[in-house]
Every structure is written in structure tokens, then in C-alpha cells.
Amino acid sequence: LQVQLHQAQKMESLGSLAGGVAHDMNNVLGAILGLASAHIEAQPAGSPTQKAFGTIIKAAERGGNMLKSLLSFARQNAAEMRELDLNTILREEVRLLERTTLSKVRLVMELAPDLRPILGDPGALTHAFMNLSVNAVDAMPENGVLTLRTRNLDPGWVEVQVEDTGVGMAKEILEKALDPFFTTKEIGKGTGLGLSIVYSTVKTHRGQMDLHSEPGKGTCVTMRFPACEAPARAAETTGAYRTMASR
């Protein structure tokens, strides 16, 4: 409990710091992007200055993506909760990543057909599952298997697992993996915010999260969420989300 409390406090103060920094940095990046985009057009095609402007634009765009991660980390509290089906969220996540990240691995989906709905923020959950899938793929340099699994647990919990057959984590890495800004990836690739974002998303959903990893074998992230009382059959079959108001 002590560790969890400490983690929660660390997340909270880093969250507000990150939010402030991200906001200011966004203005700086906007100026850089705006100027570089205005000038690149005027350069002769293939010239060194055109290439240099291209590099500036790419770097600013990469910075923008890192800021998006920072902002979503900082905005965890503004969750919009509705009744939803986690299978639908996972399918949406796969749809978003299948042409890029997921094309590098074999994907196995073991989704419980009768999964109970939960109260959740669809955007935050999609983002969290995307972070986990990207980590899984990064950990599998050659043809690994990514398994996305859901099942009902009694009493009243729904479980999601994201499992990979990748490099796994040594104990020292596993202990720090949830810390904001902890990364073993090269500069520009990892922000170290992925798992922190997932952890705070799970917390805002009153859920539990567990990391299990074996070096050389792989990693399994298990998340458990409290289920809603009544099954949302309509939401399951149409893929639409039911709002609280319509219950």
C-alpha cells in the first residue's frame, strides 16, 4: 500500500508539472513548425536548405507526438466515463495499429464473447491498450506473438491481458517500469510515459494492474476492472457505447 501511495503522489505532482511544461512547449513547437513550413516551400527542390527545413519539421512533429503523450498523462483526471465493452475497445485499438505497429508480429485475440461491460473512458482505454501493444511489439525484434485476452472474473471483475513473447524485463527494470520518464529506449523513441499513463488510467477506472515478466520469455500485463451490474447486450452487438443517461 505504501508503494502504491508513493506512486500515486509521484504521478500526481509529475502530472501537473508535465501538463504545464507540455502546454508551453506546444507554443514553442508551434512557432518552429509554422516558420519552417512557411520557408520550406521557397527553397529549391533537393537543396541543402530544403533538406534542413525538412529535418526541422520532422523533429518538431516528433516533439509534438511526445507532447501529446505528456498531455494525456497530465489529463488523467478528466475522464469521461460511460458503459462500454472492452472487446470493442481492443478491436478499435487493433484497427488503429494493424497497418503499422502490429504488422510486425502475429496477433492472437482471445476475447470472451460474453464479456461484462465496464464503466470507462473509451479514449483513455484505447490509448492505454495502444501503449501496451507498442511496448510488446518493441520487445519482440523478430516474429513474436502478441496476445490480447479478455475474460469475466467472479465476483464482478473483468480482466484484460496484453501478453508478448519478447525480451522480458529483468527485476531492476520491472521495478522501475511504472515510473514516469523511465525508459530503456533510445532518445526520440521512448518517453518513459507509456506504462505510467496505463497505470494512471487503470487507477482512474478503479482497477488493478499487475506486470509479470521473465527475461528471455516475455511479458504479460494484467488489468482488472470492476464490471457494471447489467450486461450491455446492445453495446456488444452494435459496437456503440451506451451512455449512463440512457440506462
Write out the residues near ligand ADP by the rule CB under 6 A: 131, 135-136, 139, 164, 166-169, 173, 177, 182-185, 190-196, 219
- HSE-CB of 1 using CA atoms within 13 angstroms: 0
The C-alpha atoms of residue 165 and residue 67 are separated, in whole angstroms, by 30
CA–CA dist 167, 184 (Å, integer): 12
Nearest of 129, 163, 160 to residue 227 by alpha carbon: 160
The residue with its CB nearest to ligand ADP is 194
Strands 208-214 and 106-110: unpaired
Judge whether 143 and 114 are in contact, CB under 8 Å: no
Say how far apart CA 18 and CA 77 lie, in whole Å.
14
Nearer to ligand ADP, 144 or 226 (CB): 144
Give the nearest distance from C-beta 171 to ligand ADP in angstroms: 12
Single-letter amino acid, residue 7? Q
Instruction: Kindly tell me which of 31 and 108 has the beta carbon lying closer to ligand ADP.
Output: 108
- Give the shortest CB-78-to-ligand ADP separation in angstroms: 21
Closer residue to ligand ADP (CB): 85 or 163: 163
The smaller minimum CB distance to ligand ADP, of residues 150 and 196, is found at 196
Nearer to ligand ADP, 111 or 134 (CB): 134
Rounded least distance, CB 144 to ligand ADP, Å: 10
Chain-centroid distance, C-alpha 16: 19
CB 3 to ligand ADP: min, Å: 17
Pick from 25, 99, 102: nearest CA to 62: 25
- Min dist CB 54 to ligand ADP, Å, is 25
Residue 109, CA distances (Å) to 72, 137, 145 in order: 27, 15, 10
Q: How far is the CB of 221 from ligand ADP (least distance, A)?
A: 7
Q: Which is nearer to ligand ADP, 177 or 223 (CB)?
A: 177
**Which residues pair with residue 148 across a beta bridge?**
109, 162
